[in-house]
Amino acid sequence: MNYLAHLHLGGKSPGHLLGSLYGDFVKGAVAGRFTPDIEAGIVLHRRIDSFTDRHPNVLAALGRFPKERRRYAGIIVDVFFDHLLARHWRQYSPQPLNDFVGQVYGILANEPQLPGRLAAVAPYMIADDWLGSYRDFRVLEAVLNGISRRLSRPEGLAGAFFEVRELYEPLSEDFRAFYPQLQTFAREALQGLPARGSDG
């Protein structure tokens, strides 16, 4: 899953929200590196990724892409699923999307020690409303192009947007079947995580 989904699933405390985002920017063991709830958010992020990677509906979505695209299909599906979550947000959350992303941006803006590349990315995420902009399908073309520039083989995502456009409905069916199950998994996993840490 991509940024928006991880944040949506990552709990309500500021630490959990930060941790759910840190999971894409922090590698290796986390014990003792962050406050307990941030660490818990990172752990949850990794559990969500593991659950997602082996889920039949996600495997079906990946299998819809041509064989030569399979190496990059996971990236494409992650981004597209964030689009579907943003577009159909009211089906999955009682909190309006604009309110949710505004809350996330506020937490990011007030965190003085964001890790690694997130410290550089966060100002652009906030200024350009990355999370809210996923509602617009056309934005995905720019998102995929941006990701491709960070790959060792950027040609791996060339033309991916047009493939997604052709696969929009079947991939949407995969998402509708999968995401409620992921919500249940994340909710149950959250029950064993601390609600607040030393960051208050």
Of 155 and 108, more confident: 108
Supply φ then ψ for residue 136, to 5 degrees: -85, 115
Say which residues have a Cβ less than 8 Å from residue 28's Cβ, sequence separation at least 6: none
Of 173 and 68, more confident: 173
Please say if the pLDDT value at position 53 is more than 90: yes
Model pLDDT, residue 167: 97
The mean per-residue pLDDT over the stretch 19-42 comes to: 88
Model pLDDT, residue 64: 96
Distance separating alpha carbons of residues 14 and 146, to the nearest angstrom: 28
Model pLDDT, residue 194: 58
pLDDT tens digits, one per residue of 168-197: 999 999 999 999 999 999 999 988 765 544
Average pLDDT of the chain is 91
Please say if the pLDDT value at position 47 is more than 50: yes
Query: CA angle, 94 as apex, 105 and 101 as ends, to 5°?
Result: 10
The mean per-residue pLDDT over the stretch 130-146 comes to: 94
Model pLDDT, residue 195: 54
Model pLDDT, residue 199: 38
Distance separating alpha carbons of residues 19 and 36, to the nearest angstrom: 10
Model pLDDT, residue 31: 78
DSSP sequence for 63-92? TTS-GGGHHHHHHHHHHHHHHHHHHTGGGT
Rounded-to-10 torsion of CA 106, 112, 117, 123:
40
For residue 18 the two structure tokens come to: 């930060």
The mean per-residue pLDDT over the stretch 52-66 comes to: 96
